[in-house]
Each structure stands twice: as structure tokens, then as C-alpha cells.
Structure 1
Amino acid sequence: MALMLGSGLSNQTGASIAALAFPVLGPAGVVAVRQWVAAIVLGAVGRPRLRHFTAAQWRPVLGLALVFAAMNLSLYAAIERVGLGLAVTLEFLGPLTVALAGSRRRIDLACALAAAGAVVVLTRPTPSTDYPGIGLALLAAVCWGCYILLNRTVGARLPGLEGSAAAAAVSGALYLPVGAWVLWRHPPTAAALGCALAAGVLSSAVPFLCDLLALRRVPAHFFGVFMSVNPVFAALVGLVVLGQHLDTAAWLATGVIVAANAIALTTARGPATGGGSRIRARSA
């Protein structure tokens, strides 16, 4: 339990620290640094044998790398506009949709309707509603759903963590020109660069290691259910670190989405609906 709690809090704390670097590096610059950290960490652990990959193995790996890159950029851009709590809550619609897709059970229909109602509450028109930010968070949700599905394919075609490590390496390479351009146009201060590096460690290295250790002690299914509380962690960390406040309705809507995600995973039939893939997605 302590490892899973540490993983979630580290991930969201890393995202909040990343936001502190946005005024200097912007979301793209911070994501570039995070991708490089993820590539180093996963490369050291997974040790992918890239020369031995076949074309059938490379195709999903490349797709995974592109989705990974787009997911983190859209999420960080959303955090800059709408705040950590709201962005992460909307992003969780991705795995929830994957968990509910194709189901005809009444409990899953109820979860889908409850989540849809919560989204309506979260995105309700107000004078300060940032629709581009909401759109970016929903794009991150789509990317997360695609990441889970692609990770299944990669896991089936490549042993261990080789596929995820290769995807992280490709994603990090894609961000080399982006990061170089951002750092050249906006020379980073020591504080901003430190925040970006800390975000990479806290949102990539620490959760990844905690997840590996936790999965040796608890079933992946239980882990996936526990990770459903991440939107609550995000809202709390956003409040404490960034001073971002959610109103009562937003807190209730967040709770509904967390509950819908947990119920969908708890009552799922057959193979896990992406719990293991989700772990890799949020740790990478």
C-alpha cells in the first residue's frame, strides 16, 4: 500500500513541480526533459535489443512512442491552462473508456452514464471556462486509451519491458529537436531546469520503480483499482503546491469519475482491462 501511495503522490507531485517550470520552458520544454529521463530510466531497466526487432514488432513500438509523446504534451499543456486536478481527472476518462468498451452489463452502463454526467459538471460553461484546455485534457485521455491498447500489442510481441523501453527511447529522440529549440529560444534558469529534471524523476523514475516493487506484492487488478484515486491526489497536490482550488461541484464530479473507474475495474470480467499497461503508461 505504501508503495502504491508513494507512486501516485510522486507522479502528481512531479506534475505540479513541472508546472512551476512552465513560465520559463513551457509545457513542451518540460515534457522534453521528462521524456529524456523516461528514456534513460526505461532503457536501463528494459535494455531493448533494437537490432533484433522485426518490422511487426517495430510498428506498434513506433505507434506507442508517438502516442506517449502526444499524451504527455497534451496533458502538460492542459495542466497549464485548467490546472492539475481537472486535467488529470479528464485524462482518466481514457482508461475508463477502455474498461467499459464493448460491455453490455448494466453496472458498466451505469458507470458510463455517471462519468458522462460528471464530465458535464466539470466542463459546464462559466465565464472562466477554458475550452482549449479541456480539449487538451480530453486529447490526453484519448492518447491514454490508445496507449493501453498499443501496450497490449507490444507486450504480446516483445518480452519484458523491451517494447516500453524502445518506445520511450524513440519518444525521447523525437523530443531532441523540440527540447533543443525550446532551450535555445528560452535559456532555462537553474530553478526551471531543476524543476523539469525533478518532474522527470518524480513522474517517471520513482513511480516506475515503486510500481515494479508493488506488483510483486499485489495483483495487477488491485493495483489498477488503487491507481483510480490519482485524480484525487492530483487535486490535493494542485491545491497544496500550486494553490489551485476546485469548487464543491468539481470535487463531487471528480469523486464520481474515480468511483466509476474503480467499479468498472473491480467488476470487470475476464482478462484485466489494461491495468498493467496503465502502470507503464503513468510511470513512463
Structure 2
Amino acid sequence: MKPGPAGAPPSALLPVAALVAGMVSIQAGASLAKSLFPLVGATGVTALRVGFSALILAAIWRPWRRSATLRDIGAIALYGAALGAMNLLFYLSLRTIPLGIAVAVEFVGPLGLAIAASRRAADFAFIGLAVLGLGLLLPLDGGTALDPAGIALALAAGLCWALYILFGQRAARIDGGLAVSLGMSVAALVTLPFGLVQAGQALLSPAVLALGLAVAVLSSALPYSLEMFALGRLDRQVFSVLMSLEPAVAALCALTLLGERLTALQWLAIGCVVTASAGIAGRSRRHAA
């Protein structure tokens, strides 16, 4: 690889572009999923996304060709249950609150996990900034209120995201391919009953199935592939800080695809969460050793 005129490799922006494209893909998939709510409901969309993702990952990793102990299966089952609950709660929150705000609130899960492992005073300043952002989303002024149930569901999804990270770290030590494919299958088993109860035979409509497959590809298969490409070529700090932009990307995708407009105060709240996440990510990398 030859350096460009300024001394930087000409392909240095390629992994960054891949990561941003992955974030856009995930949030475009979430926007498409939200547009399907009138047809099969939030739980129906969750079942379609997770179910198709499980089929895609099973075809890629072929978990039936791999061996695992009963203890391994237990660890993967916890990982998959957290993954399924995270998706289900997140989509339920989207029924009543905008996508960008739901993603920002959900980010509290991994952010809190990072803080729990930290003992540095500066990190608590970042968590304070995140709390400020969440506070700006609360209807404290008696104005236009966000749905409290939607916020609570997004917070619960964030808690499941933190559990997903903890259980995922354990499961990945067993076998990454086995863990992700079986874990997604467990997630499908968790979400499918809810989808069937709400949507019933509507889930089997050819048009709904086609859109559900598109949601799965946009929200799982494509972005995960792009993220893996970027992760192998970017410094972990750069990767983590860029991933912190996801709430803002979600808000922009929702504005473009769903027409969800946020107030200036809500944009400020998202900015607080993004800044806090980026700050924690940067400091965590510098002190990792």
C-alpha cells in the first residue's frame, strides 16, 4: 500500500466508510422495520428480523458441524436470550418514541457497563453528561412529552445490551461462529412466540416475508460484515469512537426515511449521549493495558 501525497494511505478512509455504511444500514433497517408495524406489529417485525438473521447465520456458520459441551450451550443460550430480549424491547420502544431517541437511550446500557469497570474521575464526568442528555428527554417542563413507557422500554433494551455484551464475551471464547449462529437461533426462539401471538398468519404473507428479509439483511447480515471489515483495519479507539455516532445516524435516518423530526432540545440530548460515549470509548482504549 503506497502512501498518498500527505503521507496517509489512500485507502485509509475505506474502513471508516465501511463502518459508517454499516451504521446507516442498521438504522435504515430499523426505519424499514418501523414502517412495517402497521402490518404485523413491533413483535411481528422482531420475529421476522431475528428469524431471518438466524437462518442466514446458520447457513454461513453451519453450527451442526461443530461440537459443544452442555456448559457451552448454556453460555450461548444466555447470550441468545439477551440478544432476543434486546431486539424485542427495542422495537417495542419504537412504537411510541422516535428512532434516534430510542438508540440514544439504549446506549446507556454499554455506557453504564464501561463506567462500572472504571475508577477514573473523568469517566464519571462523561456519565454525568449522558445523564444530562437523558434528563433533557424527560417531560420536566410540561411540554410535549415523550412516552414514558417507550423510554422505559428503551432503557430495558439498554440493560439487555449490557447483558448481551457480558454473555457475548463468554460465548465468543467458545467458538465465535458457533456462538453467533446458535445465539441468534435462541434469540429467534425467544421472539417468535410474541410475533405469532400478535401477527399470526400475517407473518406468512409473501410481501411481509420479503420486507422482513430486507430488514434482516439491512440490520444484521450487511452491517455486521461491514463492521468486521472495519474492525480488522481500524484502531479499536477509532472504531469505538465512530460507533458512538450511531444515535445521531439513527436520528438522521429516521428524519430522512420516516419524517421523524426532533426538537433542538432532543438533538442536544442526543449530542450529550454521543459525546459521553465517544469520551468513554477514547479513555477506555488509552487505559486498556
| TM-score using structure 1 length | 0.88
Contact 1:37-1:204 within 8 A present in 2 as well: no
Q: Which of the numbers 222, 242, 249 marks the counterpart of 1:226?
A: 242
* Aligned residue type for 1:266: G
- 1:16-38 Cα shifts (integer Å, max 9, x gaps): 00011000100111111111121
1:128 aligns with 2:145: yes
Q: Secondary structure at the match of 1:30?
A: helix
Moved more, 200-209 or 53-62: 53-62
Matches within 5 A, 1:1-284: 1-49=16-64, 52-125=67-140, 126-156=143-173, 158-184=174-200, 186=202, 191-268=207-284, 270-271=287-288
* Aligned residue type for 1:8: M
Distance 2:63 2:52 in 1: 16
CA RMSD, Structure 1 to Structure 2 (Å) = 2.0
Q: Quickly say closer, same or farther: Cα 1:217–1:132, change in 2 above 3 A.
A: same
Moved more, 119-128 or 243-252: 119-128
Contact 2:40-2:199 within 8 A present in 1 as well: yes
- 1:112-132 Cα shifts (integer Å, max 9, x gaps): 111111111012343433000
Q: Secondary structure at the match of 2:58?
A: helix
* Aligned residue type for 2:156: L
* Aligned residue type for 2:216: G
Contact 1:42-1:165 within 8 A present in 2 as well: yes
Contact 2:84-2:186 within 8 A present in 1 as well: no
- Aligned equivalent of 2:3: none
- 1:141-177 Cα shifts (integer Å, max 9, x gaps): 0010111111111122x12322121111122234444
- Identity of paired residues, percent? 35
Shift of 1:83: 1.4
Point out where structure 1 has 5 or more consecutive residues left out of the alignment.
273-284
Q: Quickly say closer, same or farther: Cα 1:88–1:162, change in 2 above 3 A.
A: same
Distance 2:119 2:232 in 1: 33
Contact 1:14-1:199 within 8 A present in 2 as well: yes
Shift of 1:193: 3.8
Contact 1:24-1:188 within 8 A present in 2 as well: no
Q: Quickly say closer, same or farther: Cα 1:60–1:247, change in 2 above 3 A.
A: same
Moved more, 124-133 or 107-116: 124-133
Distance 1:160 1:76 in 2: 26
Distance 1:218 1:124 in 2: 40
Contact 2:85-2:157 within 8 A present in 1 as well: yes
- Aligned equivalent of 1:278: none
| TM-score using structure 2 length | 0.87
Point out where structure 2 has 5 or more consecutive residues left out of the alignment.
1-15
Contact 2:19-2:227 within 8 A present in 1 as well: yes
Distance 1:176 1:82 in 2: 23
Distance 1:115 1:263 in 2: 11
Distance 2:95 2:185 in 1: 26
Q: Quickly say closer, same or farther: Cα 1:247–1:185, change in 2 above 3 A.
A: same
Contact 2:44-2:203 within 8 A present in 1 as well: no
